[in-house]
Amino acid sequence: MSNSFIKPGQTIGIIGGGQLGRMMALAAKEAGFKIAVLEPGDDSPCGQVADIEIKASYDDQAALNQLAEVSDVITYEFENIDYEGLKQLSERAFLPQGAELIRITQNRVLEKETIVQAGVPVAPYAVINEVKDIYDNIERLGYPAVLKTARGGYDGKGQFVIKDVSEVEEASSLLERGECVLEKWIDFDKEISVIITRNMNGEISFFPVGENIHRDNILHETIVPARISNKVKIGAGEAAGKIAEALSLVGTLAVEMFIGVDGEIYINELAPRPHNSGHYTIEACSISQFGQHIRAICNWPLKRVDLLKPAVMVNILGEHQEGVINSLSEHPEWSVHLYGKADPKEKRKMGHITILADDTDAVLEEIEQTGIWG
């Protein structure tokens, strides 16, 4: 089965109906694939462009079996999927990414252990199962320290920054959700991400390093190429490569990293799928992260990745959507992607824009001047 070559006209099943699934589906459709999606919600971003919609929860085994029956290959667009259900699915369907990748990346403890075993540094940390564990470790790690739930946190949810000993009890309420990780606070200079793709033949490609700027723990902008030294750029690629090999990766993996003030690299987290910080690749690269992911899971040879032009990607949250739409007539250089979500709630990712630029600083200034992003 590892030699399975999925041809245009066959069906790719996607678990998850969000915007990443939608952009995967659009890339696949360009090559003539059909798309089936499993998603509980109505009118989902991916469902809008799919050929077959299966409306059911992600852990519904009957629905997963139905997806297996209609699909020639299956992938997923997020990691909070039931591992046991996915494992059973992998025994009866072609799931080149496997279930093990999900088991590791949906648990911060396993994820950190795997990264360390791959010989790549993470911020000093301790595994926390009870309040006493926080007190036992926090002096060693120092203040501030960040307590994070081992499972289920994203966009800053499930985290508490402990600034001094008086906040330990309040932070410990996170333990009600289960095991946690206490991490040393890294005084970082930049946040970057490397998106890496690997196919079943072990062929690997890297996208250019993106520099990520967050607001309220949500990605705001990605700047490419990242404004980092060549040494950091090489080190970041090597770190991502070691992790991909350790995971026997198939498909796309985003490796998020902190760069310390002296250029040291710490891995923050992994996402076993295309990633928000890679959206710029649609316009700025010789192939998008979505197109390369589809090639990898279908066991096609990977395309060579070239950065065609520097770029800035900006997220459109609910509170930005109207401003962006009203400004389109003044900004022909904006490539606009809206995800088909009906309700523009505050802080909800509704879309993104990508601007190709010779001068990224000028573009960042222009984005600021619009006033849309505050």
pLDDT digits (tens, 9 = 90+) for 164-181: 999 999 999 999 999 999
pLDDT band at 3 (very low <50, low <70, confident <90, very high): low
Average pLDDT over residues 184-198: 97
Reference 36, options 1, 66, 57; nearest CA is 66
Average pLDDT over residues 145-158: 87
Q: Which residues pair with 35 in a beta bridge?
A: 12
- Residue 215, C-beta contacts closer than 8 angstroms, at least 6 positions apart: none
Is the per-residue pLDDT at 248 higher than 80?
A: yes
Is the per-residue pLDDT at 47 higher than 60?
A: yes
Backbone angles phi, psi at 60, to 5 degrees: -80, 105
Q: Give the up-direction half-sphere exposure of residue 242: CA atoms within 13 A in the CB hemisphere.
A: 15
265 is written with which tokens? 């690299």
Average pLDDT over residues 256-274: 97
Average pLDDT over residues 219-228: 98
1 class by beta-carbon count within 10 Å (0-12 exposed, 13-18 middle, 19+ buried): exposed
Is the per-residue pLDDT at 6 higher than 80?
A: yes
pLDDT of residue 127: 98
Asked if residues 21 and 45 have their Cβ atoms less than 8 Å apart, the reply is yes
Is the per-residue pLDDT at 1 higher than 70?
A: no
Average pLDDT over residues 200-215: 97
- What span, in angstroms and rounded, lies between the C-alpha atoms of 296 and 308? 21
pTM assigned to the model? 0.96
β-strand 34-38 against 52-54: which pairing, if any?
parallel
301 is written with which tokens? 């040879």
Average pLDDT over residues 8-26: 98
- Residue 189, C-beta contacts closer than 8 angstroms, at least 6 positions apart: 259, 260, 261, 263
Q: What percentage of the chain carries pLDDT values higher than 90?
A: 96
159-162: strand order across its sheet: 125-128, 180-184, 145-149, 159-162
Q: How high does pLDDT run on average in the chain?
A: 96
Domains of the chain: 11-95 (3.40.50.20), 124-184 (3.30.1490.20), 188-370 (3.30.470.20)
How many Å is the Cα radius of gyration of the chain? 20
The pLDDT tens digits for 80-122 are 899 999 999 999 999 999 999 999 999 999 999 999 999 999 9
Average pLDDT over residues 17-25: 98
β-strand 125-128 against 11-15: which pairing, if any?
unpaired
Is 318 in a helix, a strand, or coil? helix
pLDDT band at 2 (very low <50, low <70, confident <90, very high): very low
